[in-house]
Amino acid sequence: MDEVGEDARASSHEGRQQTPHKQTEHSEGADSDQTLSMFADPQPQPAFAHEPLIRGLGPSASADLGLTRRLKALACTAPLHEMDVHKSRLDWVEATVYQMAEIAIHTIDQITLAMDFDTGAKHDEVVERVLPFVAAQARERSSAEHRRVARWVLEKLINVGIVDRGFHRVYGEIGPDGSYQRKMFTFHLLREVPGARGGIFLRATDEAINVLVGALDTDVESAQIAAEVKLANLIDRGLLADARLEAEQHRYRTVQYGEKLRHRLEATRRDVRLVDWDEEMPALLDTALGHIEQRFEVEHSILSNIAQTRDKTDDPVQKRRAAELVEIMRDCLSRHTQLQNRLQSARGMFRAEQDRQQFAGPPQRSAMNLHRQLLVPALGLSVAQAAAPVAAFFSSASGVGVPDALSLPLLVSTLLRPPVDAPDDSRPVVVPDLAARVDDSRFTDEHWRRSDELLNLTGRVRSLTSLLAEAADFDDDLPVLLALRALYALAPALTNARQRRDSLVVVAVPTGAGLAGPVARIEGDELLLTTAVLTESDDIVVESAHEEIR
């Protein structure tokens, strides 16, 4: 049963029946083709020497589409892995205890389950739903930290900080001529969409749902059918634990199928010309309604089998698992019912939108994206090349400059107009009472001059005690200024000195002993001070009478 389900999924993945003996095309259903070949008539096989040495480089194969789809599926998981790589760089939390990829998958899961046909999940509601899972990973941390981690993961999935909120990955393909071509794959995991009644909601994309189900970009209808076959088989065999997992996958596919149809209907609301309502959409609606009708029959049958399994068993664990399966399948039935109602009203919606858009005014031009359409391309050009498009934009965006006089008669009338007397302001002018600024600085220019003389120690080394004793002969403030400058010399700011173009800088080195008695009420460690020469390589060279220190 499982092999047949895998074969059906692989064949529907390509959208056409794969013949097992056909070797001119390569696809990701190669394994299932080998399985089906056991049931087919033997066919002559080409010689091994004529097979291509590299997949996708055969004379009749333009590219390996299966490899491309696998690369895209792998790229969709890259943002989740990057969260675990970058969590150690967060300066507001010690995040090594958190498994960010698991939190991200749980976040996508909660958003997917909260989605219906019209709305999605609100940001705050998602954070509240994810909060227990985050708290379980680090119970000793605060609830505020748990909430901030959950919001950080949510913002990373939305890709906040990027203009288009998209993830970009480069992948390669083998072209028809055998050359390797690099292409850009842009995708979203979560989208922020406006609600029908206002507000912003989050919706999971197809790429995000594929991450949940751990699958490639497959045909949704075929994936649903294969999941139902596997689910029914697991229930018949009594494997309810595996059946629950498969039922969850089936629910994800149900949401994904609804999203596929919702995008078409949303495009119709924007512009009926974007969707082919002559042939494509009527056929799609008929196919979708038939598919949903079949799902109703299969899901009701699965519910009946689950009820029989639940009634036959006496194991409480099995009963609980059966109850969980019933809840999941009822949710799938509810979603299919909602989707069926929308599909049945789709043709009426098309006619209403056609009437509305036909009598609407001319469409307005979309606003220009200055960042993507002007700034980024201009930064890639030289100044001479960028001047013309930038000048053209600003000349058009700034509007027309209106002169003071539009015509000669208006100019003459303006010149002959009698002058307007200025209003007589007879109120007295208030003269502010300005007080002289009081100089409250402690150190005068004389203090700074004398401290410069004392610290001019080129070729000499003096102790702080001797300098303070000499400064104390002038007054009580000069030793304080000298002590402050000596303290600053312990770690001189070489960058500031170089910006001031200073060639000399005062440096100080502690001796490990204290000052020889309090001098001018100053106590502390003894320092040796000297004047150093600042070189071009940001080194300081201290020259003394005894040695040269680098």
Range with the largest mean pLDDT of 209-213, 327-331, 530-534: 530-534
Give the pLDDT of residue 97: 92
Please give the pLDDT value at position 134: 94
pTM over 0.85: no
The confidence score (pLDDT) of residue 146 equals 94
DSSP per residue over 10-53, as a string?
Answer: HHHHHTSPPPTT--S---TTHHHHHHHHTTS---PPPPGGGS-S
**Residues with Cβ within 8 Å of residue 123, at least 6 apart in sequence:** 154, 200, 202
Provide the greatest CA pair distance for the chain: 115
Render pLDDT for 113-150 as a digit per residue (tens, 0 to 9).
888 777 788 889 999 999 999 999 999 999 999 999 99
Query: pLDDT digits over 500-513, tens only?
Result: 777 888 888 888 88
Residue 34: half-sphere exposure toward Cβ, Cα within 13 Å: 5
Separation CA 154–CA 262 (nearest Å): 24
Of 96-105, 422-431, 533-542, least confident by mean pLDDT is 533-542
What pLDDT is stored for residue 61 in this prediction?
A: 38
Write the DSSP assignment of 438-502 as a string of letters. Answer: P---SS-HHHHHHHHHHT--TT--EEHHHHHHHHHTT-SHHHHHHHHHHHHTTS--HHHHHHTT-
Give CA separation, 444 vs 435, 436, 439, 467, in Å: 22, 18, 10, 19
Token reading at 190: 């979560």
Q: In the prediction, which pLDDT does 542 show?
A: 52
Distance between CA atoms of residues 236 and 230, nearest Å: 10
pLDDT of residue 99: 93
pLDDT at 513: 86
Q: Is the pLDDT of residue 21 over 60?
A: no
Question: Using CA atoms in the order 319, 321, 327, 331, what is the torsion angle rounded to 10 degrees?
Answer: -150
Q: What is the pLDDT of residue 155?
A: 92
- % pLDDT > 70, the chain: 73
How far apart (Å, rounded) are the C-alpha atoms in residues 33 and 9?
Answer: 12
Enumerate the domain spans of the chain: 61-215, 217-357, 456-533
Q: In degrees rounded to 5, what are phi and psi of residue 113?
A: -70, -25
Write out the two tokens for 487.
């303290």
388 pLDDT more than 50: yes
Measured CA to CA, the distance from residue 500 to residue 485 in angstroms comes to 17
pLDDT at 109: 85
CA atoms within 13 A on the CB side of 187: 24
The enclosing H or E element of 426 equals none
Sign of CA dihedral 507, 509, 514, 515: negative
- Give 28-56 pLDDT, tens digit per residue: 333 434 333 333 344 444 443 344 444 44
Q: 187: which strand partners?
A: 167
Which amino acid is residue 382, in one-letter code? S
pLDDT attached to residue 240: 67
Distance from C-alpha of 535 to C-alpha of 512, rounded to nearest angstrom: 28
